[in-house]
Amino acid sequence: MWNFFGDTCEKIRKIQEDMLETNGYHWEKYTVTTEDGYINTIYRIPYSHNIKTNNNERRPPVILSHGMTCCSAVFLNQCQLGYYLADQGYDVWLPNNRGTTFSRKHVILDPEKDKDKYWNFSWHEIGVYDIPAFVDLVIEKTSFQKVYYIGHSQGTTALAVFLSERPEYNDKIMLSCLMGSVISMDEGVKANVVTLLKYFMVPLIKLVDRHLFRIHVIPFSNTIRAMSPLLSWNSIGRYISMKSLYYMTGYENFEQATQLDLTKFCQTMPNTSSIGQLLHYMQNIQSKKFTKYDYGPEKNLEKYGSTEPPLYDLKKVTSPVALFYGKNDMFNNYKTDNLDKKLGNVVYTHVVEDDGFNHIDFLIAKDSVPLLYKHIVEIMKRYQES
């Protein structure tokens, strides 16, 4: 499915790099190899476009961690958070998780020839292997011993896995800012798409997977990207497209989407994610627990020593955490998810002052600066390493 357009990967790489250059920002690109052999790419904006040279000034490093079916471009396209933080004096790092456009290499495996092995991961492996590798690289390349972490959607899930499974890394995180968290798998997860996936898509995927052919990647990403110009060329097409987008992320908030260029937005997303990432979420939503991947009783016993997958110990997340909620986010409920009690060290909670603010608005809202970004920077300054 991913190779439906043969040069899609290279096009997306060029789109991101062209965006950075068009907007006048100096950028750098690095690769890092994880403990389990995945070779991932991370981009860097070391300073603002208002500064001609780096001047060796110390700028606190911040990692922006993208969600499922996204890549680093999501923070540079309609979101602009990457640019905003650079302009506020931060050294911005933009990682790309395994399997995305920018991170499709492995020391041994080929994502096309070795599909069964290469794509055999969920967001557990992203948290346990990808995020630590990115953090270590950023610390190595900067003069700071700690980094900021900002995650959206799956970026919040990965953070919870990362610091609960690798608790020694709490000492390397100044502050984590979690936008639209997907950690508490309770009744607060009420997205329409969850119902669609749970009762129709996931059973269909498992049926096809078992009897016809192996599904490795969440399908339809190229199809959606190809259709986006057709669905946004006039007001009716745009309305249908936005209704579909909101069906998956939260009830309509058209006012915040007035500046969204849907065709441009879809140039880099949906991006590729493994089918394991989707299935892991669905398992947790169905069980209403935040657990490791459920392989079934027999394999669970072999892997975990119990027939049920174990819970992640969120109390081990002891570095400071700031939570950012949308009142209309269908993937959590700020009133009931109790993350301030479940995580080990929540120091700040902010609910966006817009009744319609939903899961995708963290990436596309036209009023992001006053509603969200300025509050993120304010709390980051309180936890800045000298």
**pLDDT exceeds 80 at position 250:** no
Residues 6+ apart with CB under 8 A from 13: 101, 102
From 153, 164, 176, 319, the catalytic residue: 153
- What does the pLDDT read at residue 192? 58
Instruction: Read off the pLDDT of residues 312-325 as tens digits, 9 standing for 90 and up.
Output: 999 999 999 999 99
- What does the pLDDT read at residue 92? 98
Most confident of 26-40, 228-242, 275-289: 26-40
235 catalytic residue (yes or no): no
Residue 141: alpha-carbon gap to chain centroid = 23
124 catalytic residue (yes or no): no
From 66, 124, 359, 375, the catalytic residue: 359
What's the rounded Cα separation, in Å, for the pair 244 and 262?
12
**pLDDT exceeds 80 at position 100:** yes
pLDDT tier at 384 (50, 70, 90 boundaries)? confident
What is the mean pLDDT of the segment spanning 158-181?
Answer: 98
What is the mean pLDDT of the segment spanning 180-203?
Answer: 69
Of 3.40.50.150, 3.40.50.11540, 3.40.50.1820, 1.10.10.60, which CATH number belongs to 2-382? 3.40.50.1820
pLDDT tier at 372 (50, 70, 90 boundaries)? very high
- What does the pLDDT read at residue 177? 98
Specify the higher pLDDT residue, 350 or 230.
Answer: 350
Specify the higher pLDDT residue, 329 or 147.
Answer: 147
- What does the pLDDT read at residue 172? 98
- What does the pLDDT read at residue 253? 74
What's the rounded Cα separation, in Å, for the pair 110 and 92?
30
Q: Is the separation of the CB atoms in 378 and 138 below 8 Å?
A: no
What's the rounded Cα separation, in Å, for the pair 96 and 233?
30
- What does the pLDDT read at residue 209? 55
Residues 6+ apart with CB under 8 A from 62: 85, 90, 91, 92, 93, 147, 148, 149, 150, 380
- What does the pLDDT read at residue 286? 83
What is the mean pLDDT of the segment spanning 294-311?
Answer: 95
The region of weakest confidence among 160-164, 189-193, 280-284 is 189-193
- What does the pLDDT read at residue 225? 54
Q: For residue 323, what are the β-bridge partners?
A: 178, 349
Specify the higher pLDDT residue, 128 or 56.
Answer: 128
- What does the pLDDT read at residue 151? 98
**pLDDT exceeds 80 at position 242:** no
Residues 6+ apart with CB under 8 A from 77: 19, 264, 265, 267, 268
What is the mean pLDDT of the segment spanning 181-188?
Answer: 81
User: What rounded mean pLDDT belongs to the chain?
Assistant: 86
Instruction: Read off the pLDDT of residues 195-237 as tens digits, 9 standing for 90 and up.
Output: 666 666 556 556 555 444 567 887 655 555 555 555 555 566 6
The domain ranges of the chain are: 2-382
What's the rounded Cα separation, in Å, for the pair 265 and 252?
18
Angle subtended by helix axes 221-231 and 235-249, to nearest 10? 140
**pLDDT exceeds 80 at position 80:** yes
**pLDDT exceeds 50 at position 382:** yes
**pLDDT exceeds 70 at position 260:** yes
Q: Is the separation of the CB atoms in 161 and 74 below 8 Å?
A: no
Share of the chain above pLDDT 90, in %: 59
- Cβ-in-10-Å burial (0-12, 13-18, 19+) of 156 comes to buried
**pLDDT exceeds 70 at position 189:** no
